[in-house]
Amino acid sequence: MTNTLGLIADYRPGSFLLTSPRRALLAGGERHVVAERDPDELAARVTKLLVDSDVPVAVGALPFDDDAAPHVVVPDRATWSGPIAPGGRRAGIGSAVSVEPLPSRAGYADSVAAAVTRLRAGELRKVVLARSLRLTMAAPVEVGALLANLVADNATGFTYAVDLPTDTGRRTLVGATPEMLLSRTGPTVVANPLAGSIPRDHQDPAQDRAAGAALLASAKDRDEHRVVVEAVAEALRPFCRTLDVPAEPSLISTTAVWHLSTRITGELLDQGISSLRLACALHPTPAVCGTPVDRARATIAELEPFDRGFYAGAIGWCDAAGDGEWVVGIRCAELFEAPGARPTMTLYSGAGIMPASQPNLEVTETSAKFQTLLRGMGLQLDLT
């Protein structure tokens, strides 16, 4: 096994990379691409292809919308590494010649206000609304350098890059998410939903600690978190013989924000259920969509002025035995490169909207979440 930063040095355009605090996976090539929309057919076909091949894993991504096709690949090769090495040399990623917010800050605040009206009327319990920044870059983006920066900043989370289907050019989703959707190891399945966030204060350690404590005590954020935990437990329960759901959330942090976190552990009834099938059953959780799911999806489609694509989807891997790990596709950007054109990077950031949400605070929260990618790119943008 090489170390994680060594593995990142081997990253090439079109590769798949997923790092965690325990290990990292780099895969390349496309022996088979599976895009079945039905979860059972998707999981069954991927398992059969793995059993019939000498490739140890399938890798890929699930889109946010359930009517869009997933992109799961049986690669030509796959390499594992050990745990993430701390630190790492930072490299500049380049500059942006233009920045286009969609929607604007004011437009996003208006969307949040519209959602709050519906929430208070009882139309839904929670909805997650996102906004984006489209950066036109001055020069080609070195994804490997960006990944190394993200790993250095987010050693306790999950850094990823996944090639996406496109008719022209190349699309790559790259990010550093704090949230594991689920992992499966033998009969044990673990999910770790995050919901409820507050920006960190790196200028004042005492204020930063106070912000975390305030989040842990916040009734609004605990309600938001409870909605997600209940939904994840409900989705897992039919697959599990036992399920342990802690009564209280814990506090975790990234470089940008504090989060409420709950680690849910279950024992599977049937080890024939793969991690990919379980990921399809859980995705999307209320952490990225809302609840009830159908009403939340409709609200998102109406109020967000862009197609999420694979943002807020799931990224991960699965082996022939069904073991695997899938993470939530947030704190990310989609890089698009086409011949003869400047590359673009579209950054995404979302917030869970509840009846007690205040539009200005949700704008602040989403601005803070953009910083994961902006810091990794070495860019400082005024988002106020």
pLDDT tens sequence for the chain (384 residues)? 455 567 888 999 999 999 998 899 999 999 999 999 999 999 999 999 999 999 999 999 999 998 999 999 999 999 998 866 655 556 778 899 999 999 999 999 999 999 999 999 999 999 999 999 999 999 999 999 999 999 988 888 999 999 999 989 999 999 999 999 999 999 999 999 999 899 888 788 999 999 999 999 999 999 999 999 999 999 999 999 999 999 999 999 888 889 999 999 999 999 999 999 999 999 999 999 999 999 999 999 999 999 999 999 999 999 999 999 999 999 999 999 999 999 999 999 999 999 999 999 999 999 999 999 999 999 988 886
Active-site residue, selected from the candidate residues 41, 123, 126, 304: 126
Q: Which of 48, 100, 142, 179 is catalytic?
A: 179
Establish whether 369 is a catalytic residue: no
Locate 314 and state its tokens.
């799931």
Domains in the chain with CATH codes: 4-88+99-377 (3.60.120.10)
Helices (H), 104-189: 105-120, 143-153
- From the list 369, 384, 93, the residue with the least C-alpha distance to 255 is 369
Neighbour-count burial of 206, counting CB atoms closer than 10 A to its CB (0-12 exposed, 13-18 middle, 19+ buried): exposed
Q: Which of 375, 347, 311, 378 is nearest to 135 (CA)?
A: 347
Active site residue 304: no
> DSSP secondary structure string, 47-74?
HHHHHTSS--EEEEEE-SSTTSPPEEEE
